[in-house]
Structure 1
Amino acid sequence: MSSQGDGVYKSTDAGGSWTHIGLDHVRQIGEIRIHPGDPDIIWVAAQGNVYAAEDDGGIFKSTDGGATWRRVLEPANRTTGAVDLALDMGNPRILYAAMWDNQRTAWDLRSGGPGSGIWRSVDGGESWKRLAGGLPEGMGKIGVAASPAKAGRVWAIVEAEGDESGLYRSDNGGDTWKQLNKHRLLHTRSWYYMHVFADPVDENTVYVLNAPFMKSIDGGKTFSRISVPHGDNHYLWINPNEPRWMVNANDGGANVSFDGGASWSRQDNQPTGQFYRVNTDNRFEYRVYGGQQDSGTVAIRSRSRDGAIGRDDWEAHGGGESASFGLDPENPRYTYAGSPWGRIDEFDTETRTVRSVRAYEILGRGLPAGEQKYRFNWNAPIVVSQHDSDVIYHAANVLLKSTDRGYNWQAVSPDLTRNETDKHGKGGGPYTNENLEMYNTIFAVEESPQDANTLWAGTDDGLLHVTRDGGETWSEVTPRGVGRGMINSIDASEHVPGVAYVTAIKYKEGDNAPYAWRTDDYGQSWKRIAGGLPQDHFVRVVREDPERQGLLYAGMERGLFVSVDDGGSWQSLQLNLPVVPITDLMVRRGDLVLATQGRAFWIVDDLSPLRQYATSQVDAELHLYQPAQAIRLTPTRGRIAGGEMYAPSAPHGALIYYALGSEPALEEEEVVLEILNSDDNVIRRLATDVAIGNEGGGGGVTYALPAEAGLNRALWDLRTAPTTKVDYPFMAGAGSGRPVAGYHIAPGTYRLRLTRGDMVRESTVEVVWDPINDYDPARIAEQQLAVAEAFDMLDAIYRRLAVLPELRSQVEMRRKLAKAAGDSELAESARALLDDLDAWRDSVSTPKATNTQDVLHFPPKLEAFLANIYGIIDKAVLGLTQGQRDRLADLRPRWEAAIDTWDQIIEEQVAEFNDGAGPAMLVPNL
């Protein structure tokens, strides 16, 4: 089960922004109802903390938009809370509250008791009456719905003893009830489902959501199954004005229907995955692996060459929803992924085959833990040894080991749990046996990076063990303060043997404080390192950076934190990350990879600034960090099509971080980043832009340098400076009034020079070749010479085209003056010069073209030919073809002739015209 929320949030701009408006103490909220005529009147059904009898559940009411709250219905006892709330839309003074008496422990779930029942209010929630007539005497979980189409009609889906469970209906406002349907599909696994929804228009249409999506059109007497994209359905919104429009919420996300459920939108169009753990391989463009709640396993690329990560970039592997993933990061041909009840699959990425490699094959679903050979947690750890990829560990109540891809297993530990047999029963009651909770299990396993024989194992019942002889002997080394908390993560330092970081979560004991420790001596002593973390939500995982000792990352229930002093102090690393539980994290290739419970995978690209962080940098007016290596990627064909769902990829190029002690006023102070080659020539200049502002941004040739107080990140796309801009409506090579981007540079070391006022900071960046292609220095050298020549030829044409309008304007002005003065000779000379300038322009470009389709009407000229071969050669990083060489050679004499013609016009005709025109024209300096 997930942990708890922190209250109610409100948006007054259609979800654009949200404000917390209280009830943070109630933990679980089952329903919110808003008065149809007054949005400031709100009722909330609060379940409260199901792990601790804290008397914080019930029905709460606000009459001032959430500014203040009152509890208007108190539960019958401390283990009862409100799980559902129905509002009579025809008479909003009438409400029906479903109360649920339940309590969870780490090993059991009690669903039902004297506090469960249905209450009615007829005065807007100010007073309540318990309803009984026809309802079961003892009840568990209940869902309730009032029909907007018929006054007094109310449905309730009820968990009770045996055949008393099922759908009930009242047609007199709850005074009396009648059971209409007892089919088990309506109430199976009651604690997980039990939701009923009334059609807003048809009094006889009602929906009951369970693993299947069920619909009745005869008032609830009979039901049919509606096909939906995903099982485990939990909520349904029906448009009150158009009931064929619906939104269904399920374990995989949400789906929309506009035809009453006959068809639904896709399931994979939203980043709502709930991942339990995360693992990665070490390939370039490494893959991220994880199991997501009720949506199977995922292996997905961390970045894409096409600018976005789409459907083609991920695939399903073995295992299931709760999978941990084990794999050899250097050669991930075989992946090992789990699923509930100890299932573990091997997936062969080459043959696409899946095989079960369980230590003991048993149909565990439905069997109590005490009747199974091994006790596996829902999210049982799987680890492939980093020292020997033939070795696989799978954790139950004992640690199992295979050395032959799962064909055989042996236990390399005794039972490392408390092994409390009284907690190995059916895990449910009093009405429904759940058989889902498996307790006294190993929940975290870690292998030492330095020693294959050193293993750590943490359990869900608060024990931590270590072995230093491959499992022959184990020592309990539990930190003081764990209690019965779940050891959620163990991270053995890659820097120093014996150093490890451990987290424990205790929300199942009603304790939401963060618990994290560090040991320097294999667990003989421990130091608490959670003191600087927020104390109102727990920490799930702490891991150390593999490059910088003492740099720690903490994934918490409501965000991400970082420590640069080995846990002595912490600060938020939230950035643009949604507020979401961080279930796991790891560092790979200089990136921080996160698994979240509800917002899928997230990646912090490039940890260079954190790895170089020092306190002295905080107060510096200007600091330039040493960039990580930049990879000169080879081009690919873009494939993101309209309508395809995709996620943003890591930016291509060099990420350059710098810190500003204060925000500059851009009108008065420019921040400039220059990139210099090995000859100390500036090949690219990036600068702030007053029009764009201090946040900077944009892309390509319009990119503006950010300049905000604090940390800034610039992106150099590994190109030289762009061509000169030509203000024509359309240029075949440049588009509408835009310069053409510079060419991609060769691998090598480049110097960086950052300037703010009279302050200058310098560094270097190394550009390396794309790992997926062989690097041929001779071919790259030829390509660089060719692309530079093509660029220079193109830019020479653009520089002349750019100054031509002003030159032509001056000649035209003198022509008009000469004509007005009656100087026909000078006027004719001006006309001849204008004709020659126009003829040159028309010989190299198509100024009448306004869009790409106009190429059919105005065939390309030299400018377009040069732009075309330039773009092709820029991508020819695997070597030039003879056809490319030949085309560039063929264009060279045409270009030379065009330049000679221009020079003749400027040096002879313009000079001659100036001699007879009086004040000389401004001759462009090219």
Structure 2
Amino acid sequence: MFYFSYLSSKKTILNAKLSGLIFLILFSNGILAQQPASPLVASFETYRKMKEETPFKLDWISLGPTVNSARADIVQLDETNPGTMYVGFGSGGVWKTTNHGVTWNSIFEEQSSVGIGDMELAPSNPNIIYLGTGENLKKPRNFTLPGTGMYRSDDAGETWKYIGLKDSWSIAEIEIHPTNPDIVFVAVLGHLWTKNENRGLYRTMNGGKSWEQVLYKNDVTGANEVQISPTNPQIMYASLWEVYPGISGENSGVYRSSDGGSSWEHSGNGLPSGPNIGRIGLTVSNTDPDKAYALIDNLNNARNEAAELYKTEDGGLTWNKTHKEPFKIFPGIGWYFTDVYVNPENDEEVFCLGVRLAHSKDGGKTFSFIGGEVTRMTPSLAQGLHLDQCELWINPTNPNHLALGNDGGFYVSYDKGLTWVHFNNIPTGEFYDITIDQANYTIYGGTQDDATVYGPAKELNTRFPDPWKYVWIDPWDGGDGCVTQIDPVDPSIIYYSRQHGDAMRLDKSTDEAVSIMPKLPERIKDTLVFNYMTPYFLSKYDHKTLYHGGNYLMKSTDRGDTWDAISPNLAKSSNPEKISFSTGDIAQSPLQKELLYAGTDHGAFWVSQDGGTSWEENSNGIANNYIRSISPSQHKTSRVYMAMTGINYDDLKAYVYVSEDFGKTWKSIVSNLPNEPVNVIREDPKNEEILYLGSMRGVYISIDRGKTWSFLGENIPSAAVADLEFHEPTMDLVVATHGRGIYKISLQPIYEMLEQNLSMEKDHFFEINPTPRPWYNSSGGEPDYRTIEKATFSFWLNQSKPLTISIFDESNQEVWKTDLTGNKGFNQFRWDLVVKKQSSDAPYFVHYERFLQTGNYTVKLSTGGKTLEQAFEVLEAKSPYLVRDGY
């Protein structure tokens, strides 16, 4: 491969004419145009086809929550219309509001990319938007989602066109020419976990029709930042970051162009160098093209002194550190931050993003921290400005107007950070794990830096306050929530965990929490280590027994007060390629108390059939990837299912297995699944033939134990599924996504179809659950829309056809009907019980909607002269004011 803009680590100035000539030669030969497509493109086509053709078109219901928000990586506002705002979540898509954040819409749906890297509005036309896919935070947690390239919208996000850079995988920054929206630069980090050549800085001069790689170092160094001078677009600055195999290296550095990006020279005089230079953020003055700032993660220093801010006033010929004292804004985790911004009207006023938001009024000599008072759209226990800052937007015409994205979500200030509005009304929670209290259908979930929350299995309605609450929250208004377990005997006892095995036991009756993090017994002279997401569970056989998975399997029989190691070091596989750091998942058989399983982050699978006294490694025939999910059968003791993901290793294939002999031999059951990472597999608790699986883009079902798979449900976005759990009393399946919150679906029609062995050649109308009518307040007699619950009519059609659903009262009078077209297979129609809508010009008119009265009804489903019937009961609703906190 030829590189027309190769730069060594030493100062090199390229000849722009020669560069352009080589570009024309290479482009005419098709070399530059032929990047390999991401494997996510092919798997997306399979996903899309399976979603379209599935017979399981049952409705997923969004449960939220919104109260704890999620990590916001992108913030963009239309300065000509400040009520129009955009916020992007790394794994939760891009959302837009046109009414100052009262309501939001997801605007980047059903695309081949799930992860979002960067997005930019064209300065000369805010309706033109460029979006780069692929998350750029290198987090080894199995949820750093790669992308498939660049997209463009010419209608403010209504529609999108794919415009290339197929092999980019991770896009860090987009910069658009201030007056020509067709000239765009894209900083491509590339593959985060492996080497690749299609990384560096790219430019298009024609709106994405073609691209040229204008700055490249080597196959381990990507581009992190590019900034164009607003007053002289010929001058620009860029940074490279050695992103593989670690987070720093000698190839990281700053570069400068004075000819519109055609040629570049290394700009390192005065900047730190050496083997441990990490991520570098840049900004350039809005009035002086020769004045710029560089925020550097200099890991040659002590970890807590890695942050350094430098300034140039001569166009990058020389740089000087702005501060004498250590700048402690990202102790050892600068890979997460290092963005720097300058006030458009005062280039001595600088903002630096780290754990906190740093602010300088004297060009970086001294700093203060911006906090301010925060008002939340959804009130919660959180009080301040969340930590871990990801992106800042400063209004070019009013620098007091700020928009900030961080791990806690999206914030807007109109007084330069004295006060903020937190828009925690968007359902984009990045969940790791969920647990269901079977007794009262309360759902508990741990999230990425937004703590652990709990709430009811009620449909999301963003018109009203979110009913979800925090189980716990740290002093900085967040914290990583991982696994939660509820004591089935004493539900006031809640076990929860944070990153790296930090486990806690909470007694809600006294509001006291104690640490129960395991330690190795003194007899074992080794170090106990945990993966970031540490598996643990409460034994179903004894509510006081806990298992906790590090590189050793730890067990407690006294609720976590004391622990013992019941395994050898499970990271030490007999296969050198499977030597691991720690366990990825652990499990206990629901049929045999002594049967334990453990799987590691590099594909070592262990089994003990005697409660941990002896262990056998059964790792043959499976990949060397992260074992994310172990599901022992609930129907046959020797059967176990397992799913692993390779996303931490840039392996984007599907890995799903079953063993009938405790893992001695394995069989792949990937079958017709999209070839994309799988996070979780579960066996149905009632029917051994049914399996459920959560992948990078959704949920799949098999009714023949993995021989064939179908996409499950409708109305669920393309999102990474982190966990699946059953609420057995209602036959609901609840899923946690890493980016779009929590959803539920009723499995009742599937059970009814299979248990009664109903023919697929005939139409069927399934049993209807009783539905409460909205509660009417006693003073005004108006419905409380917070209490609306929809009736669900489920049916099977032998082919796609038009149909009519009619409601008849006890006197056989028709009170309501609707016409629709059903699909072949399972269908659902969800109805809000509104039988009449009306309006009036009377000044005090109410009763715009009339709801079905309480009582017993008959629902008739008519198709082509045939009618099927089901009984339907409408219940009296309970007052929301009488419902207690326990849901």
| Aligned 8 A contact 1:290 1:298 in 2 | yes
Q: Distance in 1 between matches of 2:801 and 2:472?
A: 48
Q: Please tell me whether residue 756 in structure 1 is matched to residue 866 in structure 2.
A: no
Q: For 1:247, which of 394, 398, 403 is the aligned residue? A: 403
- SS of structure 2 residue aligned to 1:148: coil
State the partner residue of 1:682: 812
Q: Please tell me whether residue 511 in structure 1 is matched to residue 511 in structure 2.
A: no
Deviation at 1:329, TM superposition (A): 5.2
Q: Please tell me whether residue 227 in structure 1 is matched to residue 371 in structure 2.
A: yes
Letter matched to residue 411 of structure 2 = N
State the partner residue of 1:800: none
Q: Please tell me whether residue 571 in structure 1 is matched to residue 710 in structure 2.
A: yes
Q: Please tell me whether residue 146 in structure 1 is matched to residue 284 in structure 2.
A: yes
| Aligned 8 A contact 1:328 1:386 in 2 | no
Bigger Rg, structure 1 or 2: 1
User: Which TM-score applies when normalising by structure 2?
Assistant: 0.72
Q: Distance in 1 between matches of 2:264 and 2:418?
A: 40
Q: Distance in 2 between matches of 1:452 and 1:321?
A: 31
Q: For 1:399, which of 546, 553, 569 is the aligned residue? A: 553
Q: Please tell me whether residue 653 in structure 1 is matched to residue 791 in structure 2.
A: yes
Question: Which protein has the bigger helix share?
Answer: 1
State the partner residue of 1:66: 208
| Aligned 8 A contact 2:854 2:873 in 1 | no
- SS of structure 1 residue aligned to 2:433: coil
Deviation at 1:569, TM superposition (A): 2.6
State the partner residue of 1:429: none
After TM superposition, list the pairs within 5 Å mapping 1:592-741 onto structure 2: 592-606=733-747, 608-609=749-750, 612=753, 623-627=763-767, 629-630=769-770, 632=772, 635=775, 651-659=789-797, 661-664=799-802, 671-674=804-807, 682=812, 686-688=816-818, 694=820, 707=822, 711-715=826-830, 735=847, 740-741=850-851
Q: Distance in 2 between matches of 1:242 and 1:212?
A: 23
| Aligned 8 A contact 1:336 1:345 in 2 | yes
Q: For 2:452, which of 279, 297, 302 is the aligned residue? A: 297
Deviation at 1:332, TM superposition (A): 2.9
State the partner residue of 1:795: none
Deviation at 1:72, TM superposition (A): 1.9
| Aligned 8 A contact 1:672 1:756 in 2 | no
| Aligned 8 A contact 1:299 1:314 in 2 | yes
Q: Please tell me whether residue 356 in structure 1 is matched to residue 498 in structure 2.
A: no
- SS of structure 2 residue aligned to 1:608: helix
State the partner residue of 1:459: 600
Q: Deviations over 1:875-914 (max 9, x none)?
A: 99xxxxxxxxxxxxxxxxxxxxxxxxxxxxxxxxxxxxxx
Q: For 1:169, which of 285, 298, 311 is the aligned residue? A: 311
Letter matched to residue 294 of structure 1 = D
Letter matched to residue 415 of structure 1 = N
- SS of structure 1 residue aligned to 2:739: coil
After TM superposition, list the pairs within 5 Å mapping 1:316-395 onto structure 2: 316-317=471-472, 320-328=479-487, 332-360=491-519, 373-395=527-549
Q: Distance in 1 between matches of 2:698 and 2:400?
A: 38
| Aligned 8 A contact 2:352 2:358 in 1 | yes
Question: Which protein has the bigger strand share?
Answer: 2
Q: CA separation of 1:200/1:70 partners in 2, compared to 1, >3 Å: closer, same or farther?
A: same
Q: Distance in 1 between matches of 2:233 and 2:502?
A: 50
Q: Distance in 2 between matches of 1:583 and 1:730?
A: 51
Q: Please tell me whether residue 580 in structure 1 is matched to residue 719 in structure 2.
A: yes
Q: Distance in 2 between matches of 1:650 and 1:339?
A: 36
Q: Distance in 1 between matches of 2:724 and 2:259?
A: 50
Q: CA separation of 1:576/1:20 partners in 2, compared to 1, >3 Å: closer, same or farther?
A: farther
Deviation at 1:243, TM superposition (A): 1.7
Q: Distance in 1 between matches of 2:796 and 2:648?
A: 43
| Aligned 8 A contact 1:548 1:611 in 2 | no
Q: Deviations over 1:169-201 (max 9, x none)?
A: 111221211111252324532222211112222
| Aligned 8 A contact 1:559 1:574 in 2 | no
Q: In structure 1, list runs of 5 or more residues that go unmatched.
A: 105-109, 363-369, 424-437, 665-669, 695-705, 774-871, 877-926
State the partner residue of 2:25: none
Deviation at 1:744, TM superposition (A): 1.4
Q: Which moved more, 1:260-269 or 1:510-519?
A: 260-269
Letter matched to residue 682 of structure 1 = N
State the partner residue of 2:336: 192
Q: Distance in 2 between matches of 1:495 and 1:567?
A: 15
| Aligned 8 A contact 2:236 2:257 in 1 | yes
Letter matched to residue 586 of structure 2 = V
Q: Deviations over 1:472-500 (max 9, x none)?
A: 222222251322x1100111232333222
Q: Please tell me whether residue 743 in structure 1 is matched to residue 831 in structure 2.
A: no
State the partner residue of 2:233: 92
Letter matched to residue 347 of structure 1 = L
- SS of structure 1 residue aligned to 2:369: strand
Deviation at 1:16, TM superposition (A): 3.6
Q: Distance in 1 between matches of 2:597 and 2:778?
A: 46
Q: Distance in 1 between matches of 2:460 and 2:282?
A: 51
Q: CA separation of 1:141/1:492 partners in 2, compared to 1, >3 Å: closer, same or farther?
A: same
Q: Distance in 2 between matches of 1:629 and 1:467?
A: 43
Q: Please tell me whether residue 112 in structure 1 is matched to residue 263 in structure 2.
A: no
Q: CA separation of 1:323/1:169 partners in 2, compared to 1, >3 Å: closer, same or farther?
A: same
Q: Distance in 2 between matches of 1:413 and 1:287?
A: 34
| Aligned 8 A contact 1:395 1:442 in 2 | yes
Letter matched to residue 280 of structure 2 = I
Q: Please tell me whether residue 473 in structure 1 is matched to residue 614 in structure 2.
A: yes
Deviation at 1:315, TM superposition (A): 2.8
Q: Please tell me whether residue 500 in structure 1 is matched to residue 500 in structure 2.
A: no
Q: Deviations over 1:69-96 (max 9, x none)?
A: 322222x221100111112122223221
Q: CA separation of 1:675/1:306 partners in 2, compared to 1, >3 Å: closer, same or farther?
A: farther
Q: For 1:265, which of 400, 404, 421 is the aligned residue? A: 421
Q: Distance in 2 between matches of 1:288 and 1:278?
A: 7
- SS of structure 2 residue aligned to 1:103: coil
State the partner residue of 1:366: none
- Structure with the bigger RCO (C-alpha within 8 Å, sep 6+) is 2
Q: Distance in 1 between matches of 2:539 and 2:872?
A: 33
Residues matched between the structures, number:
708
Q: For 1:31, which of 162, 173, 191 is the aligned residue? A: 173
State the partner residue of 2:156: 14
- SS of structure 1 residue aligned to 2:403: strand
| Aligned 8 A contact 1:418 1:461 in 2 | no
Q: Deviations over 1:450-478 (max 9, x none)?
A: 22222211111321112222222222222
State the partner residue of 1:827: none
Q: For 1:591, which of 726, 732, 741 is the aligned residue? A: 732
State the partner residue of 2:582: 441
Q: Deviations over 1:323-363 (max 9, x none)?
A: 2112245753211111134321111233322122222399x
Q: In structure 2, list runs of 5 or more residues that go unmatched.
A: 1-138, 373-384, 883-887
- SS of structure 1 residue aligned to 2:144: coil
Q: Deviations over 1:397-442 (max 9, x none)?
A: 111122222122222222222279x99xxxxxxxxxxxxxx96212
Q: Distance in 2 between matches of 1:675 and 1:477?
A: 60
Q: CA separation of 1:134/1:610 partners in 2, compared to 1, >3 Å: closer, same or farther?
A: farther
User: Which TM-score applies when normalising by structure 1?
Assistant: 0.69
State the partner residue of 1:123: 259
Q: CA separation of 1:214/1:384 partners in 2, compared to 1, >3 Å: closer, same or farther?
A: same
Q: For 1:275, which of 421, 428, 431 is the aligned residue? A: 431
State the partner residue of 2:183: 41
| Aligned 8 A contact 1:400 1:410 in 2 | yes
| Aligned 8 A contact 1:673 1:752 in 2 | yes
Q: For 1:77, which of 211, 215, 218 is the aligned residue? A: 218
- SS of structure 1 residue aligned to 2:422: coil
Q: CA separation of 1:159/1:727 partners in 2, compared to 1, >3 Å: closer, same or farther?
A: closer
